[in-house]
């Protein structure tokens, strides 16, 4: 059967995608979908334990996947990972900068006030979210620059648009990721090649292991006051599910988005559009 133009717009078969933070809830869902679509997927994590189930699930469904150990704030480690990917598959077409997150000790909550937040915790959050997007973009983006094509997708947050109470370091870091996305899009297009595109996805509120302590009561699992406030301000009336991010990702990394660069796409159930009244 002849492939339709519609199908070819979203055809990403045969490409190589590096997914940092690939063992997490959201990133693993993205990685699995890329594998289903014929992409060779590299799961980058600090822990082989978290990467193995994702790699195995992709292979079980007939896809190709490998894991590489990487700390996204360690340039030497990222360079070694890039060399490992090139040795295995010879190219990198897609980079998804998904490593990031918040820390409880960098959150002004309970007995820990803003005035007492430890510097080490704040720097840790800034490093993993901002530097953790910049350094992989340097090393894997260098490969794209040589090949004169590629796609980078950063993972931002609703916190970048409206700084959320309590998560000072996380909000600041994700706002910086938005700025970096626009900066890098211009740099890659003008200094390397217009076929290299850089965009970001800004998820709304998705329940993950890292933020569950803010969204639900530990003892009962019921929505916390904060969790209920989020639902009340989300027109869709629910938290996001990992699968809600997939269609946006596939669009951004496929030929259908060939004229899209320097954008940050909210996937938030309407949270950013709702004023609360």
Using DSSP's 3-state secondary structure scheme, residue 203 falls into strand
SS3 215: helix
pLDDT value of position 217 = 81
pLDDT (mean) for 214-240: 86
Give 5's pLDDT tier (boundaries 50, 70, 90).
low
Beta strands in 80-231 (DSSP E): 94-97, 150-155, 196-203
Q: Which residues are catalytic?
A: 170
- Name which of 147, 137, 246, 247 is nearest 181 in CA terms: 137
Q: Quick check: 274 and 233 in contact, CB under 8 A?
A: yes
Percent of the chain surpassing pLDDT 90: 79
Mean pLDDT, residues 234-256: 95
pLDDT bin (cut points 50, 70, 90) of residue 60 is very high
Give me the mean pLDDT over the 108-133 stretch: 94
Contact by Cβ (8 Å): 140, 70? no
Domain 12-204+247-265 matching CATH 3.40.50.720: the answer reads: yes
Q: What are the sequence ranges of the domains in the chain?
A: 12-204+247-265, 207-239
Whole-number Å distance between alpha carbons of 176 and 112: 25
pLDDT of 226: 82
Q: How far apart are CA 173 and CA 129, in angstroms?
A: 6
Give the confidence band of 1 by pLDDT, cuts at 50, 70, 90: very low
- The span from the CA of 246 to the CA of 96, in Å, is 12
Single out the residue of 45, 30, 54, 40 nearest to residue 86, CA to CA: 40
What residues form DSSP beta bridges with 61? none
Statement: residue 270 has pLDDT above 90: yes
Over residues 115-138, the mean pLDDT reads 96
DSSP 90: S
CA–CA distance, 246 with 132 (Å, rounded to integer): 22
| pLDDT given for residue 4 in this prediction | 53
Please give the C-alpha separations between residue 256 and each of 178, 231, 244, in angstroms, as whole numbers. Answer: 22, 32, 19
Question: Global pTM?
Answer: 0.93
Gap between the Cα atoms of 33 and 193, Å rounded? 28
CB atoms within 10 A of CB 148: 11
Is pLDDT larger for residue 93 or for residue 214?
93
| Residue reference for tokens 């040795």 | 87
Exposure b/e, 176-197, CB count within 10 A at least 16 = b: bbbebbbebbeebbeebbeebb
Pairwise CA distance, residues 256 & 249, whole Å: 11
Predicted local distance difference test score (pLDDT) of residue 54: 97
Beta-carbon neighbour count of residue 247 at 10 Å? 12
Mean pLDDT, rounded, of the chain: 93
Residue 55 token pair: 């790699």
Taking 50 as the threshold, does the pLDDT of residue 202 lie above it? Answer: yes
User: 128 falls in which pLDDT band (50, 70, 90)?
Assistant: very high
Q: Which tens digit of pLDDT belongs to each residue from 171-185?
A: 999 999 999 999 999
């Amino acid at each position: 059967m002849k492939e339709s133009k519609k199908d070819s717009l979203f055809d990403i078969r045969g490409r190589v995608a590096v997914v940092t933070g690939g063992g997490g809830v959201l990133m693993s869902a993205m990685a699995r979908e890329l594998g289903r679509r014929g992409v060779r997927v590299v799961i980058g994590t600090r822990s082989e334990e978290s990467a193995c189930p994702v790699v195995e699930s992709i292979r079980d469904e007939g896809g190709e996947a490998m894991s590489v150990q990487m700390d996204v704030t360690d340039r030497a480690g990222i360079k070694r990972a890039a060399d490992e990917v090139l040795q295995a598959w010879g190219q990198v077409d897609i980079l998804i900068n998904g490593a990031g997150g918040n820390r409880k000790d960098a959150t002004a909550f309970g007995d820990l006030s803003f005035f007492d937040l430890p510097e080490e915790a704040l720097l840790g959050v800034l490093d993993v979210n901002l530097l953790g997007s910049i350094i992989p973009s340097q090393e894997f983006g260098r490969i794209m620059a040589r090949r004169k094509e590629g796609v980078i997708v950063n993972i931002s947050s609703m916190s970048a648009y409206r700084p959320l109470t309590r998560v000072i370091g996380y909000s600041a870091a994700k706002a910086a990721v938005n700025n970096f996305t626009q900066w890098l899009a211009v740099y890659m297009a003008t200094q390397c090649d217009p076929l290299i595109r850089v965009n970001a996805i800004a998820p709304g509120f998705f329940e993950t292991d890292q933020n569950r302590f803010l969204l639900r009561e530990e003892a009962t699992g019921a929505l916390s006051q904060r969790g209920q406030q989020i639902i009340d301000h989300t027109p869709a009336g629910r938290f996001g599910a990992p699968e809600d991010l997939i269609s946006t990702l596939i669009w951004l990394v496929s030929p259908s988005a060939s004229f899209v660069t320097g954008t940050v796409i909210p996937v938030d159930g309407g949270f950013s559009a709702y004023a609360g009244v």
